[in-house]
Amino acid sequence: MSGLLSGLEQFGLSGLENMDLYEKPKREAAAKTAEEQVIQEQDFLFDKTFTCPICDKEFKSRTVKIGKAKLIGTDMDLRPKYEHVDLLKYDIIMCPSCGYAALSRYFKFITSPQAKRIKEIISSKFKPITVQKDIYTYDEALERYKLTLANAIVKMAKPSEKAYICLKTAWLLRGKGEALDKKAPNYEEEKKKVNAQEKEFLKNALDGFLAARQSENFPMCGMDEPTVDYLISVIATRFEQYDVASKLISQVIASPSVNPRMKDKARDLKEQIIKEIRVKNAAK
C-alpha cells in the first residue's frame, strides 16, 4: 500500500499509513473441516420468547432445541456431555432490560418480596443489554451464571437452588477448560486458573447441597434423594471429606428404590473412596 494513506502523519498517525485497504483472505479460515461447516452451535438453538416476571417486558432468549443434541456421556458428578455443543451455556434465562436471571427451571417462580428485592438491588443499577448473540462464548455464558448467582443471593433463594447454580457453573468451567487451545502459549496458566475456579464453585455446591439436605424436601432441583446423595458423595470425595462421602454412598447402595445404573455408579464410587482412604493412610 503506497500512497492511499500517506499524509496521515500530520495527524500523528504515521503508524497507520501502511494498513491494507482490503484484508487478505486468511488461510486458517478457509481450512475449516467439512464437519465444522455442516454442524454449527446455532443449529441446536432457537429464539424463545419469555415475559419477565420482574419488569413484565417480553424478550427473546437463546434456547436449546429439545432432542437435537446427542448425549455422549456424563462425568462422575453427572455433568452431561453432548456431541458438538455444550448445552450448559444456554441454561440461563436473563432479562436484558432489568437484569433478572435464573436457571430455566426456576425462572417463572418468584414471590413478590423476592421481586421487590431484585428490583431494588439489581434492576436499579443494571445497564440494559441491546445486542443479541446467536451463540455464547464460555466467558459470556459464565457472566450469565454469575448474574444468576447474584440474583439468587439477592432473592434469598433456598440453599439447593444456589448449590445447583454453583454446580452448573463448575460444570461450565470444566467445559471451558476442556475447550482451551492446548497449543496456545498460555495454555498451562489458563488451565490452572479455570481449574481453580471450578474447584471453588464445586466446594460451594457441596456446602449448599449439604445444607439443603438438612432443611429441604425431595425432589431437589429435579433430583431424587439417592441422586442428590450420590452427587454429594462424589463432590465430597473430591475434597477428601471421606466421612460424609462413605456414609451417603452406603445409604444409596442400601436403598431398595435405586435403579441398577445408579447402584453400579455408587458401588464404583464406594470402591474409589476405600482406595483413596487406604492410600492416604499408607502415606501417614
Query: Of the ranges 45-53, 167-175, 177-185, 255-263, which one interacts with Zn ion (CB under 5 A)?
Result: 45-53
CB of 163: closest distance to Zn ion in angstroms?
Answer: 25
Q: Binding Zn ion by CB under 5 A: which of 81, 86, 97, 246?
A: 97
Question: In terms of Cα–Cα distance, which of 118, 119, 107 is closest to 156?
Answer: 118
Q: Residues 192-221: x/- map of binding to Zn ion (CB under 5 A)?
A: ------------------------------
Tell how far CA 143 is from the center of its chain: 10
Chain positions 99 to 118 lying near Zn ion, rule: CB under 5 A, are 100
List all residues 6 or more positions away from 55 whose beta carbon is below 8 Å from its beta carbon. 95, 97, 98, 100, 119, 123
Number of residues that bind Zn ion (CB under 5 A): 7
Query: How many Å apart are CA 64 and CA 48, to the nearest integer?
Result: 9
> Which residues are CB-contacts of 233 (< 8 A; sequence separation ≥ 6)?
244, 245, 246, 248, 249, 252, 266, 269, 273
Min separation Cβ 259 and Zn ion, Å: 40
Instruction: Candidates 45, 69, 85, 98: give the one binding Zn ion (CB under 5 A).
Output: 98
Restricted to residues 50-69, the positions that interact with Zn ion (CB under 5 A) are 52, 54-55
In whole angstroms, what is the distance from residue 150 CA to residue 143 CA? 11
Shortest gap between Cβ of 64 and Zn ion (angstroms)?
Answer: 21
Instruction: Label residue 199 exposed, middle or buried (CB < 10 Å: 0-12, 13-18, 19+).
Output: middle
- Minimum separation from the CB atom of position 60 to Zn ion (A): 13
Single-letter code of the amino acid located at 21: L
| In the complex, least distance from residue 170 CB atom to Zn ion, rounded to whole angstroms | 27
Closest CB 257 distance from Zn ion, rounded Å: 41
Which range, of 93-101, 149-157, 193-201, 223-231, touches Zn ion by CB under 5 A? 93-101
Half-sphere exposure of 253 (CA within 13 A, CB side): 15
Positions touching Zn ion (CB under 5 A) are: 52, 54-55, 95, 97-98, 100
